[in-house]
Structure 1
Amino acid sequence: MLQLRASLPAERLASLAARQCNNVLPDGEDVSPDDLMSAIPAALGRLEYCFQAIDNKYFFDGQAAVFNHLHGDQYCMWLYILSNELYRQGAPSSLSAKLFMLNKALHGCDIFYEVTLPSIFLVVHPLGTVLGRANYGDYFVAYQRVGVGSNRDVYPTFGKHVTLRPGAAVLGRSMIGDHCQIATESLVLDRDVPAGTLYIGRPPAAVAKANSAPYPLWRHQRVIA
């Protein structure tokens, strides 16, 4: 049974997103709340599963996951999950595309609805962030101005518990191991980063150090040996 404590019921969340799409993209092909409702229950279930793992009072209040449509990071994650759920269910691509464009307009981030983010992830102030078609592991964190993309049509692979700090970019044939942090303004290009690494800098002067501190905002996490 769904225990998510949401600021709006499902019907009003559908109505809000539909109105926002129509205001941002008034192309004469209006989105109706009914167009979105088929995906809302599953999307809320995915949101609850994700938020219950986050050790922050705005996401988990000690008893249940919390979703506030006026919390920018949460609403950004919601629009991605809703657009992706519609895509998974085979809904008209225009619905997912409009939610994707709405997310760009509201939050300045680019997470295409066909991209498969993990079940547990977190975006933090995601202005200017682009998350491309990589393979992502659970407990993935992306801050503002993060870039994940291809080089010669090859995308990165991320293990679990990977954090990309502000301005970090991971591109191309890169394999990022479990429990890694990519430091602010750092670039990983066609390079493997071993598990338990703090990666700092840009080629050719990048430095790799041991990363012994787990990300502080996960409720359940293994202590790094």
Structure 2
Amino acid sequence: MLKPLHLSRTELAAYVARQLVTFYPDGLDTDAPSVLAAYLDAALLRLGRCINEVRWWTPDQFDHLHSTQYTLFLYYLSNTIWKATGNRTLCAKLFGLNKALNGIDLFYEIDMPEVMFIGHSVGIVFAKATYGNYLVVYQNSTVGKNHGVAPVLGEGVVMYAGTAIIGGCQVGDGTVLSQGTSLVNADSPGHCTVYPAAGGQVVFKPTRHNALQDIFRR
């Protein structure tokens, strides 16, 4: 079981509750401490799967002062509570807290992968799309809809800084978007690296280095 590094489980739930009161002093959700405590273990179980897959992180250990780990924790907590209770007010606050602290737009209703890595959360926006496992996303990247159509991302997709996947894209397994590249209503064959080309087009080239092996323990 995942173990919080600095706080007990009880202290961690109380810590999140105090943050919510600080950011949202509206007197609503007075039962938030008990709800957070009730679903904390389920959220930590999901977070633990993710932490244990990342090479750089100590297995079975969660540091709430590690901003990326805390980013993932707040998402898993909000999503877990949403699925179990449908408490939109509390989950909206957890979403807003994550956005305020970490600069990420990751809505609690979105189904994210069991294993993912976020490299610097600032400026990342996730739409309600389909996400494959072992997703890697770096800062200022966007997954978005176009006229209501959302992308489908396969397994092992890597989005380097400043990239975007927008609209009706079928992104094959093992696709890597090089820095600053955008896919807009375009498919990727997978197991390739996508580079920008003239006239707003993109070009697909063989991937020279497997970034997933550097990040994950799989």
What's the TM-score once normalised by structure 2's chain length? 0.93
Residue 36 of structure 1 is matched in structure 2 by 36
Residue 197 of structure 1 is matched in structure 2 by 192
Superposed CA RMSD in Å reads 1.4
Distance 2:54 2:189 in 1: 25
Is residue 2–residue 44 contact of structure 2 (8 Å, CA) maintained in 1? no
Distance 2:4 2:19 in 1: 22
Matched AA of 1:74: Q
Is residue 109–residue 129 contact of structure 1 (8 Å, CA) maintained in 2? yes
**Which residues of 2 match residues 163-178 of structure 1 at below 5 A?**
163-178=158-173
How many Å apart are 1:206 and its aligned residue? Answer: 1.7
Partner SS for 1:200: strand
Is residue 168–residue 184 contact of structure 1 (8 Å, CA) maintained in 2? yes
Matched AA of 1:15: A
Q: Deviations over 1:60-89 (max 9, x none)?
A: 3xxx33210000111011001100000110
Distance 1:151 1:91 in 2: 27
Unpaired runs of at least 5, structure 1: 221-225
Q: Deviations over 1:22-55 (max 9, x none)?
A: 1011112155321211211110100111111111
Unpaired runs of at least 5, structure 2: none
Residue 55 of structure 1 is matched in structure 2 by 55
How many residue pairs match? The answer is 214
Residue 96 of structure 2 is matched in structure 1 by 101
Residue 217 of structure 1 is matched in structure 2 by 215
Identity within the alignment, %: 34
Partner SS for 1:126: coil
Is residue 22–residue 30 contact of structure 1 (8 Å, CA) maintained in 2? no
Residue 82 of structure 1 is matched in structure 2 by 77
Bigger fraction of residues in helix: 2
